[in-house]
Amino acid sequence: MQKPNRRLAATSILAFGVIATSLLTACDSTPSVIKIGVAQPLSGPLAALGQDMHNGVKLAVDELNKSGFKVKGKPVTLEVVVVDDRANADTGKQVAQQLVDAGIVAVIGHLNSGVSIAAAPIYADKNIAQLAISTNPKYTDLGHATTFRLVGNDTLQAKAIGSYASQLSAKTFAVVDDGTPYGKGLADGAAAQLKTASKNIVLRQSFDDKTTAFDELAGKLKEANVDAIISTLNDFQVVAMLEALKKIGHTNLAVLGGDTLKTTTGLKAAGLAQAVYATSPILEAREFPAGAKFLAAYREAFKLDPAYGGHYSYDAMHVLAGAIKRGESAKPENIVKALRAIDGYAPVTGSMKFDAKGEQRYGVISVYAVRNGLWEAQMRSDNW
């Protein structure tokens, strides 16, 4: 009878152990390249805002890569995969699927609430964290564990609009919106606040988000002797509306817009009305102690000033990187888990922390007025 070869058996067991360990290590290995999605409108009327959001992520990624970003001690390169959602819900769903297929582990997008809401189930299906600057409450009401909001929502902003509008020396109000989930939802909330304050709304009208022909509206506003317009139209639309009012000599009024008015394009509204105000959950970078450093780096990198919320997407990328490091994993589900628990260091705004729904705990609404070619803060919700 042949005796068993104990040395061979031991060698086989050892080899199996090495293979098994290698397989386990491979399953939990950190990739050398981690892909981060950016989904924003990069063409059309909102391109400047979307590009600003993209620039913020790019600036952060360049800094993180230059600093030698590591996960579990392993050097990792962060790569941005950017797509143009065209501020359109159907396109947003298409590009969301493209990002998923490209192997992203998280996405910073979208700008428009309607697009974020439409794309959210696609990311959620693959446990991919979606960090959006969109403000419609329905985004986090979807109930996905993967939805995170970078700023305060429109419930708080509607209260800010109503509160500030009530302080204006206006007797007749008009409320106009761009027909999108963001614009209509915010305008409805603001109108409700005005009615609670017994303010006289003499005109309520919706448009689409591309309309720039406002001669008919201007005539209605003049006929009704409206002296305050509450608007959630886009920046270029507000400018077009005020230019139409100027043509018929009705400029002795105030305009109070939402955050899509508080842009560099929105500054062109100055001089077209007696006063121009905007509420926004997106505070100016210069309002933060670390804002000057960010602005200097942004101007050096892109040769222009931020147009909208680039400092928030910049911070979001740093918080996302912090979640990857803290969770010691680039797996999407682990990133979501880490984001749910994190009180992340945000270089400009200070900190980002999300509640159980994914709402920003530190969201603040500020009211701005155009002064000397800048949006200057008038009051903030955390000081009310």
- Sheet with 129-132, strands from edge to edge, namely 77-84, 33-40, 106-108, 129-132, 147-149
pLDDT per residue over 22-64, tens digit each? 443 445 578 999 999 999 999 999 999 999 999 999 999 999 9
CATH number of 155-280+366-383: 3.40.50.2300
| Average pLDDT of every residue of the chain | 92
**Host H or E run for residue 37:** strand 33-40
* pLDDT, position 213: 98
Closest CA to 235 of 203, 276, 271: 276
CATH number of 33-153+286-353: 3.40.50.2300
Q: Return the HEC string of 116-134.
A: HHHHHHHHHHCCCEEEECC
Q: Return the HEC string of 69-116.
A: CEECCEECEEEEEEEECCCCHHHHHHHHHHHHHHCCCEEECCCCHHHH
Q: Give the predicted TM-score (pTM) of the model.
A: 0.86
Rg over CA atoms, the chain:
25
* Separation of alpha carbons 348 and 315, rounded Å: 6
pLDDT per residue over 231-247, tens digit each? 999 999 999 999 999 99
CA angle 172, 175, 179 (to 5 degrees): 170
Whether 9 shows a pLDDT value over 70: the answer reads no
Closest CA to 308 of 281, 275, 337, 335: 281
| Average pLDDT estimate for 215-220 | 98
pLDDT per residue over 265-285, tens digit each? 999 999 999 999 999 999 999
pLDDT per residue over 57-104, tens digit each? 999 999 999 999 999 999 999 999 999 999 999 999 999 999 999 999
* pLDDT, position 384: 61
pLDDT per residue over 334-350, tens digit each? 999 999 999 989 999 99
Closest CA to 187 of 178, 195, 197, 196: 178
Structure tokens at 285: 């970078």
* pLDDT, position 5: 52
Distances (CA, A) of 106 to 102, 130, 183, 326: 11, 6, 27, 15
* Domains of the chain, residue spans: 33-153+286-353, 155-280+366-383
Pairing label, strands 200-206, 77-84? unpaired
pLDDT per residue over 313-328, tens digit each? 999 999 999 999 999 9
